[in-house]
Every structure is written in C-alpha cells, then in structure tokens.
Amino acid sequence: MKKILLATALAGIVALLAPHHAARAEATVAPGASVDMVLLPKFLGILPFDQAHQGAEEAAKELKNGKKLQYLGPTPENSVAGQIEIVTNAATQGVGAIMISNNSGDQIVPAAKAAKAKGAKVVTWDSQIPSAEGEDVFVAQVDFSETGKVMADMALHILGADGGKFAILSASPDAANQNAWIAAMKDALKDPKYSKLELQGIVYGNDQSETSYNQALAMVDKFPGMKLIMAPTSVGIVAAAKAMQDEKLCDKIKISGLGVPSEMLAYTKNGCAPEFALWSFVDLGYLSYYTAYGLATGAFKAEAGTSFKAGRMGTYTITKDPTRKAGLRVLMGPFSLYNKDNVEAAAK
C-alpha cells in the first residue's frame, strides 16, 4: 500500500512537472509498485493469447512489478462460465487489476462490477464488454469500423473487380469483438465500391480447430458459388485454409481474414490464403499491461482525454469509444496486411 501511495505521489509530481501537451498532462507510469494483476484471455491454448501474455510479461519486467502476473484462462468449451468464475475469484482475492479479453458478452458485467467494487481496475483488451458496464477502459487493437473496411477491401482485392459471393466463418456467437467486426463489415459493404460483393451467411466454428474445419467444408456445400471464406479468427482461418487444401478447392475458394503469420505461412505461399491481416498481439498485451498498471497505481485515471506513456510504444490517449454508446478506449492500431511477399519475414 505504501508503495502504491508513493508511486501515486511520484506520478502526480511527474505529471505536474511534465511539459504540457495541449493543456493536458501526459501521465508517466512509475515502475516499482507491487500490484497483483490478472491477465485473462478468452481461453487458453491458442497462439495470439500466448503472444499477448508475452507482451504483458515484457511490460511487467520493465515496470518492475513486485508481484508476478497471473495468466489465468478457461478452456474453450467452458469459456463463458470460466471467465466469470475467474473474475469472481480474482475479486475475492482482492487483486489490483484484471485484464479481460471478454468472451461472455454482457454476462460478465455482474462479476466485473463486483471486482470494481472491491477496488480492482477492470481493463478489457482484444474484446470489450458491449455495454461497458463494470469496465474502466478498453484497449482496442484496431478501430473496429476499420476492421470492417479492411476485410471488405481484402475480399474485393482477392475476388477482383467483378466481386463474387463469400461467407463468414466466425468464432463463437457470443464473442463481442467478432460480432462488432462482422457488423462493421456489413456496414462497409453498403458502400457502392463493394456492391459486387455478396455476403451469403455467417457460420460459427467456436474457435475450435475441428469444428471450424468441418464447418468450412460444410460451407462449400451450403453456399453454392461461394468464392471466398472470410474468417476473422486465427483458429478459423487456418482450419478453413487446411480444409480447402485437403479438398483441393484452393483454386475455386480463397481464404482470408485475421490470422497469425507463422500459422498462415504455407497457405499464403501456395495461394490458398493470398491475403490476410492482423495486429501485434505482443504489443496489445504490453499496452494492456501498462494501462492496467497505470490505473491500478493511480498514475492516471480512466477519463477521456488522459494521456500516458506506455514504455517503448509511446504515448496513448484515452478517448470515448465511438463504437459503443458508453465506454472509454485506448486505440492501439494499426493493421498489418500480409501476403506472399511479406508473410515469411513476419512469420519469424
């Protein structure tokens, strides 16, 4: 407690002394405090969340947090209930901050509120709480309306000016970020520029490799004339690419969406998945940690207009979240597009 107070005082002084940027002070996060922090992915066992964990550990080391970061997550089939359980337990233990990639929609709200009531800071990352209740701030990987445009652009780019039919292979119907991206893509498709693109439907693979694989194959039969599967999930996109390759359909049906370069390397090289996008999950974990640590130590408050320096990544500002009615966000960005020319370098 003493350390937190000291850190707060230090941060306050630093904030006072720091040169003013456009009337607002930029908060500096002071290292050395001991804060219990929990990083909660949607579930354990897939690469992007592992990378976010790496980034958070990197930030923890830099900030010399006396307490070890707890990386806790549920199993995929138990994701919703498991997340609520972990948040509830963390609140009971009285942790200083919880970082959630929310997979439970608004069902997590009571648990998140309880954690806040106990004094924990609740930072969401990767996937937000839709109503923003019980959440201090959301660290957004990219602007969600941009995600819709990026996906529409990739679809148009792959299918060519004549466009064609495509379908979406999503994760679970409860995933807030997936639904926001799909909604953003539907919005983007209203632009006359994409008038030749026809969305045939949405199928859910629940972020399980086998389910996604089988669903991708079934989509081929279900959606006649489909030329592209857009999978905004790193599990779905690889599974779909393998399914098309196994059925020798890569010439007719292309795969695109959000994927991890190291997993997509082979399919991008052989033309099954000519183009896909992603952001750095390592950076996302890093930035989330800085945000949560700063809030928990009182270096800055979750208010629109607050700026803070997040180590190697530079300065970020908390703003109102334009994609939700309520809520604050820190926007990370940008997107990286991968194709056969740059995927190899990124896979390393």
Partner 1 sequence: MRWLQRHIRPEQIREFSLLLLIVAAVLIFGSMIDGYYTSRTFNRIASSVAIITVVAVGQTLVVLTRNIDLAVGSIVGCTAYFTGAQLAAHHGLPPVVAVLIAMALGCAMGAINGALVAYGRVPSIIVTLGSLAIYRGILIDYSGARTVTTDSLPKWLIDLPRLNFITIGDLDIRAMFALAVGIVVLFQIGTSFLNVARRFYAMGSNPDAAELIGMPTRQIVFSAFVLSGTLSGLAGFMFLARFGNITVEAARGMELQVVAAVVVGGVNIFGGSGTVFGAMLGAIMIAILEQSLFRLQISEFWRDAILGLLILMAVASDAVILNRLRAIWSRTELKLVTRPGTGAAP
Q: How far is the CB of 209 from partner 1 (least distance, A)?
A: 5
Q: How far is the CB of 183 from partner 1 (least distance, A)?
A: 21
User: Cα–Cα distance between 213 and 243 in angstroms, integer?
Assistant: 6
Q: How far is the CB of 190 from partner 1 (least distance, A)?
A: 25
Q: Which helix (H) or strand (E) holds 255?
A: strand 254-257
Q: Which is nearer to partner 1, 228 or 265 (CB)?
A: 265
Residue among 121, 242, 254, 324 that touches partner 1 (CB under 8 A): 242
Q: Which of residues 91-150 bind partner 1 (CB under 8 A)?
A: none
Q: Which of residues 177-206 bind partner 1 (CB under 8 A)?
A: 204
Indicate whether 218 belongs to the interface with partner 1 (CB under 8 A). yes
Per CB under 8 A, the segment of 96-104, 134-142, 235-243, 306-314 that binds partner 1 is 235-243
65 half-sphere exposure, CB direction, 13 A CA radius? 24
Per CB under 8 A, the segment of 32-40, 192-200, 221-229, 272-280 that binds partner 1 is 221-229
Per CB under 8 A, the segment of 175-183, 215-223, 290-298, 307-315 that binds partner 1 is 215-223
User: Do 203 and 236 meet the contact criterion of CB atoms below 8 Å apart?
Assistant: no
Residue type for 301, please? K
Indicate whether 77 belongs to the interface with partner 1 (CB under 8 A). yes
Q: Which is nearer to partner 1, 45 or 334 (CB)?
A: 45
Residue among 17, 161, 221, 314 that touches partner 1 (CB under 8 A): 221
Per CB under 8 A, the segment of 103-111, 139-147, 214-222, 292-300 that binds partner 1 is 214-222
- The closest alpha carbon to 103, from 85, 115, 121, 90, belongs to 85
User: Cα–Cα distance between 331 and 343 in angstroms, integer?
Assistant: 25
Residue 126 backbone class (left: φ over 0; alpha: ψ -120 to 50; beta: rest): left
Q: How many residues does the chain have?
A: 348
Q: Map residues 246-275 to x or -, x wherever contact with partner 1 holds by CB under 8 A.
A: xxx-------------xx-xx---------
Residue among 6, 47, 183, 202 that touches partner 1 (CB under 8 A): 47
Q: How far is the CB of 249 from partner 1 (least distance, A)?
A: 9
Residue 340 backbone class (left: φ over 0; alpha: ψ -120 to 50; beta: rest): alpha
The residue assigned the tokens 């002084």 is 13
Q: How far is the CB of 34 from partner 1 (least distance, A)?
A: 26
Q: Name the token pair of 230.
A: 């857009």
User: Cα–Cα distance between 318 and 139 in angstroms, integer?
Assistant: 9
Q: Name the token pair of 257.
A: 């969406």
Which residues, 6 or more positions from 78, have their beta carbon under 8 angstroms from its beta carbon?
43
User: Cα–Cα distance between 230 and 195 in angstroms, integer?
Assistant: 17
For 111, phi then psi, to 5°, come to: -65, -40
Q: Which is nearer to partner 1, 221 or 341 (CB)?
A: 221
Residue among 9, 21, 32, 45 that touches partner 1 (CB under 8 A): 45
Residue 225 backbone class (left: φ over 0; alpha: ψ -120 to 50; beta: rest): left
Q: Which is nearer to partner 1, 193 or 222 (CB)?
A: 222
Residue type for 268, please? T
Q: Which is nearer to partner 1, 46 or 84 (CB)?
A: 46
Residue among 209, 319, 323, 339 that touches partner 1 (CB under 8 A): 209
- Binding-residue total with partner 1 (CB under 8 A): 32
User: Cα–Cα distance between 146 and 181 in angstroms, integer?
Assistant: 9
| Residues near partner 1, by CB under 8 A | 44-47, 49-50, 75-77, 204, 208-210, 213-214, 217-218, 220-222, 224, 235, 238-239, 242, 246-248, 262-263, 265-266
